[in-house]
Structure 1
């Protein structure tokens, strides 16, 4: 019981700090910390992360940071793919799922470290020559078919990963929005939280339909502490350098992914 409370608070804090990391840490926290199989951990993690992301998205929406049209497009493209991912997760062997998850975590860690070490802390995250441009006069995102296709593809990949691995998908959304748009980092994180909340909710429904029933009490406790950690993380994010957060988060991902691989190989 205490373990689930501590793990939930830590996952929520990471989600609040990064907008991208809570989901990818929630599943291994439950798999390693609680000894659950991935199929059981996925819906619990999704419920906690989606609820916490919703809290962060509402707060960011009030501050005018959420690109809600982009978030809705990614959601509409992503939710149908959660069913495909959940069905695949239900059929794949446990060891393969853990190895796949650990591999994804290592890739994300390598990308974060590369980005953080290559640029200066004061450097702008996005050059001005991306396909999704923000109109400097209105502050709105300029839409065209290319922008729409890029965002829809991002949403579809997010939905598939959400259903397959039980992650929020922020580790897909944040780098893709940074690549395709010149939206500010605060706006990207806020939009990511909104998509995580909506696509994650669809992922919960898909995993339950696939035959997984999460334990009610532990799910509730994990979700509440994750939400509290989320609030603390969002507040702390205003005072911490994004570069330092990236490096620290990447280090955590490397350690956790190696631990998951050892778990898969030692206890196949």
Structure 2
């Protein structure tokens, strides 16, 4: 039997299983691709927040990446929590030398408001990581952190997209999930626009949403879909996962990565 499409996630571990590497691999399995991982940091994390985070050495991250890419190969790469400027720059260099689309989720703050990126790493994200991204997927807090643009309404999404595109990604998805009303995202490359709308589900259990969307986009790109189709399909998957999100622990539970598998 031929192997499925291969996707590599470069991200931190979430011990609670709702976000990070764990969410990425669950998403990849659900979407029918072979998920592989480069762990950049270990976190102590649960439904209440992040209790601790320990970045791995740059040489450990580089060795994991080379081990996978040089032998198995990849058809898409997704990045998540990179924690430090040194890790951001090392991963950007690795992505720049890999012939595969890269989906960059510029993770800065957790769902609970915990910082996952040092202040010194922000400039490295802007100048090193975003320029090698096929698709960047910032939420509104990350847009403000990276560009200084504060989105208050749907009308501000174009301005936010232009500010992120100025750093060099080919496409950007500005995730408008924090706005009131329907969940509206804007996908654009600066000339072509796609407005992606979904009903807002009254469910507080949304831990892992950003990781899941970026991994779903990478999975669809690995299958050979063009960016607009990959992002649209990923949005549909995430919307279903949010609707099926469930309580876990005493805080914010995760989205349900397996919802589509059970529906089949």
TM-score range, shorter chain: under 0.3
TM-score by length of 2: 0.28
TM-score by length of 1: 0.27
More strand by share: 2
